[in-house]
């Protein structure tokens, strides 16, 4: 049993979990919430506070893996969705909320010329890749080692590459995530090292005529939450222009960074973009959007429909309503405010790192950041990679924060802010971090 749990106490969460384990593998439908000895079950949540069924209230810096930009039960969303639910939740005819939301999103970034909605980020990335193949007539994709893009076979290759199997940095292996991934899938995915222009271009050139798209997350969480350099993104843009390939962005997480997503930071624009998470206002969502001439391949008016595409719950009016309200409230000012507050948190935690004298660093962008067990911030996936020992220490640190400080964070020691947070929560967070750094200092030093 976890040290910080009271072994004499009967937790309601534990009772539920014991039953769940008989019905659901591991007791959970998403490994994200898996936790030993048992995950805690939620009773209710409001704003940035979540209360579990054993009555403990915690501040939520995970926000359902970066998807709740306004925290929990945001009143305008609750109101709008309640009204929509009374009118019906899913139809086999078109709905106005879809059009309203499409209009709003397409006005938000210049590269968003046409859009289609789906039900998850995984589905959005998958559809974007399939659109790229259909448009270019080519089969391979290229992606960064370590980058997470959801669970589509091709998009997940090398997401969990490790020293034993990642191979030479000049020619990284295509490493499967799920056992049984077909060899053809691995052969059709070219893996490159993020932010490494020279190696990446050399790898792409080896498959010049075969690559349909280069898939990029401009601030990939698993690669270390490091920003894509201008030089790197521009080089990919140029390479794709010269080789009849598409540059496609996964902004499922990073859309929160600016009003128009991280693409606002670059002089070049992606051909297609996948969205998800915050654009659902707390409901399952995904979208892919981009150049009209590419998106036309989905238009059933076409005599030769290159990419037939459907989904029973795609663009359902509940998600469309919640998403529209969430994005209306996430205007330019809201983006600026949340980014400024997150920067304050980063500054205060950096100060705590200095006061405690621990060899740790922070990376991030906009309203998100990640802490690393190394003095110098990582710049590559291989530097950000956590050994088993580092992972075990991070689990202990997260448990400390969860049980002793009543804080919830993402399992990489990352925080994703919501607009309802204030300086009060930032102070609570940085004070807790200082105590944690002091407590684990000897173990942090040992990991180096
Ligand atoms: C960058 C990125 N792309 C895609 C996905 C997949 O989104 P979903 O979990 O909605 O399928 C995620 C999920 O965390 C993600 O972080």
Residues forming the active site: 148, 250, 277
> How high is the pLDDT of residue 1?
42
DSSP readout, 113-164? SEEEEESSHHHHHHHHHHHHHHHH---EEEEETT----S-TTTTTTTT--TT
Pocket of ligand 1 contains residue 212 by CB under 6 Å: no
Taking the C-alpha atoms of residue 434 and residue 12, their distance in angstroms, rounded to an integer, is 31
Find out whether 53 and 38 touch, Cβ atoms under 8 Å: no
In the DSSP assignment, the letter for residue 89 is S
Distance (angstroms) between ligand 1 centre and the Cα of 249 equals 12
Distance (angstroms) between ligand 1 centre and the Cα of 122 equals 6
User: Within a 13 Å sphere around the CA of 275, how many CA atoms are in the beta-carbon half?
Assistant: 30
Pocket of ligand 1 contains residue 84 by CB under 6 Å: no
Alpha helices in 195-331 (DSSP H): 197-205, 230-242, 292-295, 317-329
In the DSSP assignment, the letter for residue 14 is H
> How high is the pLDDT of residue 8?
80
Distance (angstroms) between ligand 1 centre and the Cα of 181 equals 19
User: Within a 13 Å sphere around the CA of 309, how many CA atoms are in the beta-carbon half?
Assistant: 27
Q: Which atom of ligand 1 is nearest to the CA of 122?
A: 11
Q: Which atom of ligand 1 is nearest to the CA of 276?
A: 10
Radius of gyration of the chain, Cα coordinates, nearest whole angstrom? 22
Find out whether 385 and 162 touch, Cβ atoms under 8 Å: yes
Distance (angstroms) between ligand 1 centre and the Cα of 285 equals 10
Distance (angstroms) between ligand 1 centre and the Cα of 252 equals 6
Contacts 24+ apart (CB under 8 A), 264-269: 264/109, 265/218, 265/227, 265/230, 266/218, 266/228, 266/230, 266/233, 266/234, 267/230, 267/234, 268/233, 268/234, 268/237, 269/110, 269/111
Residue nearest to atom 9 of ligand 1 (CA): 121
Pocket of ligand 1 contains residue 111 by CB under 6 Å: no
Pocket of ligand 1 contains residue 252 by CB under 6 Å: yes
Both structure tokens of 44:
């209710």
Pocket of ligand 1 contains residue 227 by CB under 6 Å: no
Low-confidence ranges of the chain (pLDDT < 50): 1-3
Residue nearest to atom 15 of ligand 1 (CA): 149
414 phi/psi in degrees, rounded to 5: -110, 150
Distance (angstroms) between ligand 1 centre and the Cα of 409 equals 17
Residue nearest to atom 5 of ligand 1 (CA): 150
Both structure tokens of 317:
């009016």
Show Cβ contacts of residue 299 under 8 Å, excluding neighbours closer than 6 positions: 305
Pocket of ligand 1 contains residue 126 by CB under 6 Å: no
Residue nearest to atom 7 of ligand 1 (CA): 121
In the DSSP assignment, the letter for residue 369 is E
> How high is the pLDDT of residue 188?
98
Q: 368: closest CA among 218, 231, 232, 240?
A: 218
Average pLDDT, the chain: 97
CA torsion sign for 396, 401, 402, 408 is negative
Q: Cis (ω within 30 of 0) for the bond into 68?
A: no
pTM: 0.97
Pocket of ligand 1 contains residue 150 by CB under 6 Å: yes
> How high is the pLDDT of residue 367?
98
**Three-state SS for 275?**
strand
Q: How far is CA 17 from the centre of its chain?
A: 27
Both structure tokens of 208:
């010049």
Length of the chain: 448
Distance (angstroms) between ligand 1 centre and the Cα of 280 equals 13
Pocket of ligand 1 contains residue 314 by CB under 6 Å: no
Taking the C-alpha atoms of residue 211 and residue 205, their distance in angstroms, rounded to an integer, is 10
Find out whether 140 and 190 touch, Cβ atoms under 8 Å: yes
């Amino acid at each position: 049993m976890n040290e910080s749990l009271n072994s004499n106490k009967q937790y309601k969460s534990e009772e539920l979990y014991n039953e769940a384990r008989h019905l659901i593998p591991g007791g959970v439908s998403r490994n994200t919430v898996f936790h030993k000895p048992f995950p805690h079950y939620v009773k209710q949540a409001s704003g940035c506070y979540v209360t579990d069924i054993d009555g403990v209230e915690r501040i939520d810096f995970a926000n359902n893996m970066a998807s709740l930009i306004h925290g929990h039960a945001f009143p305008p969303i609750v109101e709008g969705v309640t009204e929509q639910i009374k009118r019906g939740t899913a139809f086999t005819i078109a709905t106005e909320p879809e059009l309203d939301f499409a209009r709003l999103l397409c006005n938000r970034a210049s590269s968003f010329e046409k859009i289609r909605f789906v039900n998850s980020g995984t589905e959005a990335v998958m559809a974007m890749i399939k659109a790229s193949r259909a448009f270019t007539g080519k089969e391979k994709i290229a992606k960064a080692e370590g980058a997470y893009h959801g669970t589509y076979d091709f998009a997940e290759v090398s997401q969990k590459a490790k020293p034993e199997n990642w191979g030479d940095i000049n020619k990284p292996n295509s490493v499967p995530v799920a056992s049984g991934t077909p060899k053809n899938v691995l052969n059709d995915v070219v893996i490159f090292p993020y932010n490494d222009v020279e190696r990446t271009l050399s790898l792409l050139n080896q498959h010049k005529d075969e690559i349909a798209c280069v898939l990029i997350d401009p601030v990939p969480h698993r690669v270390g939450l490091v920003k894509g350099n201008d030089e790197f993104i521009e080089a990919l843009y140029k390479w794709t222009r010269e080789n009849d390939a598409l540059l496609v962005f996964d902004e499922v997480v990073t859309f929160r960074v600016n009003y128009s997503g991280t693409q606002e930071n670059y002089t070049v624009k992606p051909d297609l973009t996948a969205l998800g998470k915050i654009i659902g206002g707390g409901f399952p969502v995904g979208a892919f959007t981009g150049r009209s001439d590419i998106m036309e391949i989905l238009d059933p008016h076409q005599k030769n429909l290159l990419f037939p595409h459907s989904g029973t719950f795609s663009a359902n009016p509940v998600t469309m309503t919640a998403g529209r309200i969430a994005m209306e409230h996430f205007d330019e000012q809201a983006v600026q405010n949340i980014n400024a507050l997150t920067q304050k948190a980063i500054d205060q935690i950096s100060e705590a790192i200095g006061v405690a004298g621990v060899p740790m660093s922070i990376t991030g962008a906009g309203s998100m950041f990640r802490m690393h067990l190394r003095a110098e911030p990582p710049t590559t996936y291989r530097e950000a990679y956590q050994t088993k020992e580092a992972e075990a220490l991070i689990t202990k640190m997260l448990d400390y924060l969860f049980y002793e400080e009543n804080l919830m964070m993402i399992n990489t020691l990352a925080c994703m802010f919501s607009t309802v947070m204030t300086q009060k929560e930032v102070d609570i967070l940085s004070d807790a971090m200082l105590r944690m750094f002091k407590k684990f200092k000897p173990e942090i030093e040992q990991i180096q």
